[in-house]
Amino acid sequence: MDQLKNLIESIITRVNVNLHEFVDVGPHLRTIVSQENLSSFYAFYGLTPTHPLHFKFSESCLSGTYFLGKCEVTRSVLYKSDIRGDELKRKGDVVKFEDMELKLYNDEFIAIRDSFLIKTLVHNKSHDPENLEKFAIRNTVALHWANIHGAPMDGCFLEPFATVDLTSAHNCAFGTHSYVQAGELSHTYVEPGRIWVKAEGAFEFDYKFPREILDKYVKYEPGKPPTGKMLDYVEERKADFIPIYSSVTQETQLNVPGSASLSPYAVVKGNCSVDENVLVCQRAYLEEASLGQGANAQENCYIVHSRLDGMNVTAHGGKIIHAHCGPNCFVGFNAFVHGTPENPVQVGKGCIIMPHTIIDADEPLEIPDGTLVWGFVGSKADLERNSIAISRLKEFSGETTFGDMSFSGSGKAFVDAFAHRIQHILEENGAYFESGDNGIGHAQQNNEMSFNIVQPYPDGPLKGLYPTVEISPAHLDMF
């Protein structure tokens, strides 16, 4: 294990150079995952006929991590993370910046270096016009169930359940269960439970979970895995993944239409159904779940005793339990929509459940069509306070508070940005696929995927480290 220990110390030093104003990441990292666990799991990467392919791993531990698309990992520890390079920009793509048009010389790739990611999702692409071909994550630490989404990182620390979305970040710390979408950030500390969406000159949305509520659902003490009700929910279902990871190939009992895809690394329990153009990603969990046409369940989503009517987006880490979602609902990153058989949750058509929202129903809840919901909702009274009709928000302009959330700027710009984004996600996921290349997206492209498995050195001083591996395409025109 000596070399693995040395690698971890090396990462700590690199990250601390960036973050010394906020935190020493050493006490956070040294004990949080046992060396035994870091050496016990294989890494796996998806191979399809359609995704650009280039993996290069060196001097790293990749325990339990999944890769797709073009990725390079150097001197890093990735533990049970998902590095999804299926929305990266491609050679020849044109990016607009102000009045300039920039053309990509090469396919973009994800480059992770001197970083430690635990159960973290990395997805989307870099939105930094200064770095078009490289989605870089450098000198960065992300803990359990963090999301790094279209967010290049340089010297950052994400506590458990933190999401950084479409934001280039440099020397920032993101507290537990915080959500940020702010374009660009540097030398900023985002407090635990803060939900912050800001478009410079257009709008700003700000909410902060009360500390005692946050602690009940997700609580983090340095160096220990997080605890709380959301964690318990996940931990209780962990064993269902074991048979899946033990097999090289899976058979499913589920009838999956040709236009849909169900990852063999997803759990399917009880009576489930998936309709045309549905996407179910690796590490999703379905139990007594019905997914209507064009609906999706991303990584770390739990859809349990629930029905999605169609064209529903469930973003990475979204959990929907004993709930019924009408068509075109959006449930954001790490949202926890937790009904029970006695207190089910009804989400109306076209609702937006903001990222990180915690709905934990103490009584049956009905969310009217076209509602935006945020923050903590346990009762009808909470719902009243922490929600607004989207049509009403759209008409607002200025500065105010809605319930516990403060808002400034143009409601219309905020709503339009969301609507546009949801539309884009549905397109990317292949929800509108008809035939041929018409509307093709992840649901169709993940359909034919094989998985390659990389294991660490089983013993000796390199135990837990992976050999240097490079994988590139077979030549198409070699013969």
Cβ-based neighbour number of residue 238 at 10 Å: 10
Q: Does 463 bind a copy of itself (CB under 8 A)?
A: yes
Number of residues that bind a copy of itself (CB under 8 A): 49
CB contact at 8 A, 299 and 283: yes
Nearest CB to a copy of itself, comparing residues 114 and 309: 114
Q: How many residues does the chain have?
A: 479
Q: Tokens in use for 143?
A: 């803990």
**How many CA atoms lie less than 13 Å away from 384 in the CB half-sphere?**
3
Residues from 245 through 304 that contact a copy of itself (CB under 8 A):
245-249
Q: Does 473 help bind a copy of itself (rule: CB under 8 A)?
A: yes
C-alpha–C-alpha distance, residues 341 and 152, integer Å: 41
Say whether residue 242 binds a copy of itself (CB under 8 A).
no
Residue 468, interface with a copy of itself (CB under 8 A)?
yes
Q: Which is nearer to a copy of itself, 94 or 479 (CB)?
A: 479
Q: Which residues contact 260 (CB under 8 A, 6 or more apart)?
A: 274, 275, 276, 277, 278, 279, 280, 443, 447
Span interacting with a copy of itself, options 7-15, 26-34, 296-304, 392-400, rule CB under 8 A: 7-15
Q: What angle do CA 362, 330, 442 make, to 5 degrees?
A: 135
Amino acid (one-letter) located at 87: E
Nearest to 112 by CA among 83, 79, 80, 145: 83
Of the candidate spans 3-11, 122-130, 279-287, 330-338, the one that interacts with a copy of itself by CB under 8 A turns out to be 3-11
Q: Which pair of structure tokens corresponds to residue 1?
A: 């294990």
DSSP β-ladder status, 345-347 and 267-269: unpaired
Q: Is 462 in the site for a copy of itself (CB under 8 A)?
A: yes
> Which residues between 60 and 79 bind a copy of itself (CB under 8 A)?
75
CB of 396 to a copy of itself, least distance (A): 50
Rg (CA), the chain: 21
Q: Select from 15-23, 40-48, 124-132, 395-403 the region that touches a copy of itself (CB under 8 A).
A: 40-48
The Cα–Cα gap between 433 and 296 comes to: 13
| Whole-angstrom distance, CA of residue 135 vs CA of residue 149 | 10
Give 29 or 195: the residue with its C-beta nearer to a copy of itself.
29
Nearer to a copy of itself, 186 or 468 (CB): 468
Name the minimum Å distance from CB 59 to a copy of itself.
Answer: 5
Q: Is 241 in the site for a copy of itself (CB under 8 A)?
A: no
Closest CA to 429 of 265, 312, 324: 312
Residue position matching structure tokens 């602690």: 215
What is the CB neighbour count within 10 angstroms for residue 212? 7
Site string for a copy of itself, 441-460 (x = CB under 8 A): -------xxxxxxxxxxxxx
Q: What is the DSSP letter of 239?
A: G
Min CB(452)–a copy of itself separation in Å: 5
In angstroms, give the least distance from the CB of 25 to a copy of itself. Answer: 17
Give the residue, chosen from 17, 20, 50, 221, that forms a contact with a copy of itself under the rule CB under 8 A. 50
Task: Say whether residue 408 binds a copy of itself (CB under 8 A).
Answer: no
Contacting residues toward a copy of itself, per CB under 8 A = 3, 6-7, 9-10, 42, 47-50, 53, 58-59, 75, 245-249, 448-463, 465-476, 478-479
